[in-house]
Chains A and B, each alone.
Chain A
Amino acid sequence: MSNTIYNEADDRERRNILRLLGLGSIALATGAIINSEAVANQQTDTYLTKLSGVSKYNTGKITIKTPSIAENGAVVPITVSIESPMTTASYVKSIHIAADGNPNPEVASFHLTPSSGKAEISTRMRLRKTQNVVAVAVMNDGSVQRASNNVKVTIGGCGG
């Protein structure tokens, strides 16, 4: 009799340990995913901060236009536009584009002048996987606008 009780308790303990182990490995796995994303975001933020000189951004005046689903990651069209009169008194000095899921966050930096007339640029970029594309615009008064778009990538664009 006592033997049976002992076994039951043992069994329960064994199951609990298994359950704990299972939960632990799930936690570890999610932890790893969140970490790698956080590291990528941080790299992008550091890069953009280095270029724009600020870490706090305004939003609203800047728009990114990308396809929401890119079939071919090797050629993803992007248009960044900023509401600005583009006069010597008020103009966009530079536009920086970054992508947080690429091996390196840098994509391109554009330096504009009042003679640009309109603060809008279009180009085509490579995206390795589904990720956020971030654009910041530095105004001549030092304020910085930021926007980001998520792009789903069907076939990655880094080649090889």
Chain B
Amino acid sequence: MDQSNVHQIMSKSPLAAAAVNHKGNYKMASKPRVKLPKSAKKGQVVQIKTLIPHKMETGIRKDKKGNKIPRHIINKVEATFNGEPIITADLHPAISANPYFAFYARIEESGIFKFVWTDDKDKAVTTSKAITVA
């Protein structure tokens, strides 16, 4: 995938804008984006959207010399609320670059969402977001 192509795909989603900085350079797993409401009613089911910049190298592609480019993907995503698991995902190379997920959670109390992305090099990126029950 060349840079212009990346731009094209990225420009479709405002969430995805984080993946390419102002020079158009590609950033590795760094700044995850999480979108969820700041407050909810007790028992309400809210949608959570997450996106993290990562090239998700498949391990099948070859470089110009014909050598295989080693696989390097985010293979696990976990979401917890006050320590209780909400959803976990096992990922494979067939997930697009800059993995995006949307899922739901039922909110019974105020608390903190924690999201962890782990890649093939065991590098983990964590972010948290609070939600208040009004």
Contact = CB atoms under 8 A, between A and B. Distances in A.
A121 B96 contact: no
A111 interface: yes
B5 to A, nearest CB: 8
B102 A126 contact: no
Interface residues of A, number: 35
Interface stretch (A1-9, A22-30, A35-43, A71-79): A71-79
B86 interface: yes
A49 interface: no
Contacts of A107: 92, 94-95
Given A124-B100, A125-B96, A126-B94, A159 B89 contact: no
Interface of A: 72, 74-76, 79, 86, 99, 102-104, 106-118, 120-127, 157-160
The 3 closest A-B pairs by CB, nearest first: A117-B106, A117-B45, A160-B61
Given A104-B93, A110-B87, A117-B46, 10 more contacts: A72-B9, A104-B92, A107-B92, A108-B92, A110-B103, A115-B85, A117-B106, A122-B101, A125-B94, A126-B96
